[in-house]
Amino acid sequence: MEKDVHYDIPHENEAINIGGYGAAFRITSPRAVDPTALRSVTGEIVKEIAEACMRKGAKAIGHVKLYLKAQSGYIRADTVGMKYGVHVDGNIARPERVANLVVNSIIIGLGKTEVASVTLKSIGEVMERHGFSMTQVEEARGGEVREKR
Amino acid sequence: MRVVQIAGFLGSGKTTTLISLSRQLSEEFKKRVAIIVNEIGDVPVDAKVVNEFGLKVKDIGGGCICCELLINLAITLEELSKGFNPDIVFIEPSGVSIPSSVKDGIKTAKGQEIKAGPVVVIFDAERAEEQLSDEGIGTFVMRQLSDADIVAINKVDAVDEAHIRGYEERLKAVNPGAKLVRISALKGAGLNDLIHMIMELIEAQ
């Protein structure tokens, strides 16, 4: 379910004009995708979002970050602007067909509606290029996430 | 239970820093550590990443813990104190939080054992030029830094020595009382120094 991030509260940062959007997806590929290709896709998503936001008129990238969780591991990717590069880490042990994807885009100089639109469009384009189908899912937040043992 | 903030502007390296600090404090110092993450956005990314490292993490979302979610912070601290009883709680406020307001929230948590510890503010040396040259962002970043007990100058591996010295001079002018430390959270450089500064301030309180 799509949700806007409400950040238009009285706050000392209000002069900065920050738009944020976060969404979760289940992604599926008709064939198992090897871990190197998955890393490449995650980097491509954050790059695509950051570049599209700048083209749309953003002043700067606050932080675009992504977490992809599959059965055999996870990958995280982020950028604070394309001139600073894209950082990807984490590890997935084997080829995977299904994964959960969470993306947060925090952009300086764009409104939340524009950030949401650019983020969804960018993710959709990258997924399509690589043959993934995707479904947006709702995630509860707050409280304990999980204590890993 | 000491509550230590790892604050700083968007993308400054807060999550990477607190994961390294928490692991080291758990494994080497044998401290019981918990983490509270407050992230802009309706779905958490940082809390999920922290959880991958086997760390105890609670996520407070849907707003900013320095203002409208201040009460949630106090409740979360009380729950952690009763249920997990950590020695140290790291709070990662959102990149647009005001550290002094978060500290006020910590003080409202009930329980004699919950005490506000030092405020660490991460300064992004790699993006400093870009941020400080913008009036709105520069003013806000300096506002965050003025609340710091420790300023950790991050990403020093990406910036030349002359620039780092220049930033140190500026930071000393903004917050003369803060301790300064150079780190590269991604590469692990300087984190031992940062941990020792945090522990010294906790012990001195």
Q: Write down the pTM of the prediction.
A: 0.91
Task: With CB atoms and an 8 Å threshold, state whether A104 touches B140.
Answer: no
d(CA B136, CA A11): 13
Q: Return the pLDDT at A6.
A: 38
For A37, A71, A124, A148, the CA distances from A99, given in Å and listed in that order, are 13, 7, 15, 19
Tokens 């409208």 label which residue? B68
* CB neighbour list of residue A113: distance below 8 Å, 6 or more residues apart: A4, A19
Q: Return the pLDDT at A148.
A: 32
Tell me the average pLDDT across B124-145. Answer: 95
A vs B: CB pairs below 8 A: 134
Which of B43, B55, B96 lies at the smallest CB-CB distance from A13?
Answer: B96
DSSP for residue B36: E
Tell me the average pLDDT across B1-19. Answer: 97
Question: Which chain A residues are closer than 8 Å to B46 by Cβ?
Answer: 65
Tokens 């105890």 label which residue? B56
Burial class (CB in 10 A: 0-12, 13-18, 19+), A9: exposed
Q: How confident is the model at residue B68 (pLDDT cuts 50, 70, 90)?
A: confident
Nearest-CA distance from A128 to chain B in Å?
23
* CB neighbour list of residue B191: distance below 8 Å, 6 or more residues apart: B17, B20, B21, B24, B183, B185
Tell me the average pLDDT across B38-58. Answer: 90
Question: Which chain B residues are closer than 8 Å to A137 by Cβ?
Answer: none
Residue A138 has pLDDT above 70, yes or no: yes
Q: How confident is the model at residue A143 (pLDDT cuts 50, 70, 90)?
A: very low
**Domain ranges across chain A:** 17-137
Chain A residue with CA closest to B44: the answer is A141
Q: How confident is the model at residue A11 (pLDDT cuts 50, 70, 90)?
A: low
* CB neighbour list of residue A87: distance below 8 Å, 6 or more residues apart: A77, A78, A79, B186
Tell me the average pLDDT across B39-44. Answer: 82
Each residue's pLDDT tens digit, B185-200 = 999 999 999 999 999 9
d(CA A108, CA A58): 6
The closest alpha carbon to B72, from B110, B105, B112, belongs to: B105
Walk across the sheet containing A96-108 and list its strands. Answer: A86-92, A73-79, A60-70, A96-108, A18-33, A133-137
Q: Return the pLDDT at A141.
A: 55
Q: How confident is the model at residue A14 (pLDDT cuts 50, 70, 90)?
A: low
Residue B97 has pLDDT above 50, yes or no: yes
Q: Return the pLDDT at A13.
A: 60
Q: Return the pLDDT at B65.
A: 83
Q: Return the pLDDT at A122.
A: 98
Chain B residue with CA closest to A75: the answer is B49
Residue A106 has pLDDT above 90, yes or no: yes
Query: Which CATH superfamily includes the segment(s) B2-204?
Result: P-loop containing nucleotide triphosphate hydrolases (3.40.50.300)
Q: Return the pLDDT at B21.
A: 97
For B7, B10, B24, B47, B147, the CA distances from B94, given in Å and listed in that order, are 8, 7, 23, 12, 15
Q: How far apart are the first and last CA of chain A?
A: 31
Check if CATH label 3.30.300.330 holds for domain A17-137. yes
Task: With CB atoms and an 8 Å threshold, state whether A69 touches B95.
Answer: no
Top pLDDT among B161 and A14 is at B161
d(CA B22, CA B205): 20
Q: Return the pLDDT at B61.
A: 82
State the ipTM, two decimals.
0.92
Which of A60, A104, A147 lies at the smallest CB-CB distance from B39?
Answer: A104
Which of A15, A103, A144 lies at the smallest CB-CB distance from B136?
Answer: A15
Q: Return the pLDDT at B200.
A: 96
Interface test with B, best of A7, A16, A59, A64 (most B CBs within 10 A): A16
DSSP for residue B156: G
**Domain ranges across chain B:** 2-204
Q: Return the pLDDT at A4.
A: 37
**3-class state of residue A96 by DSSP:** strand
Residue A1 has pLDDT above 60, yes or no: no
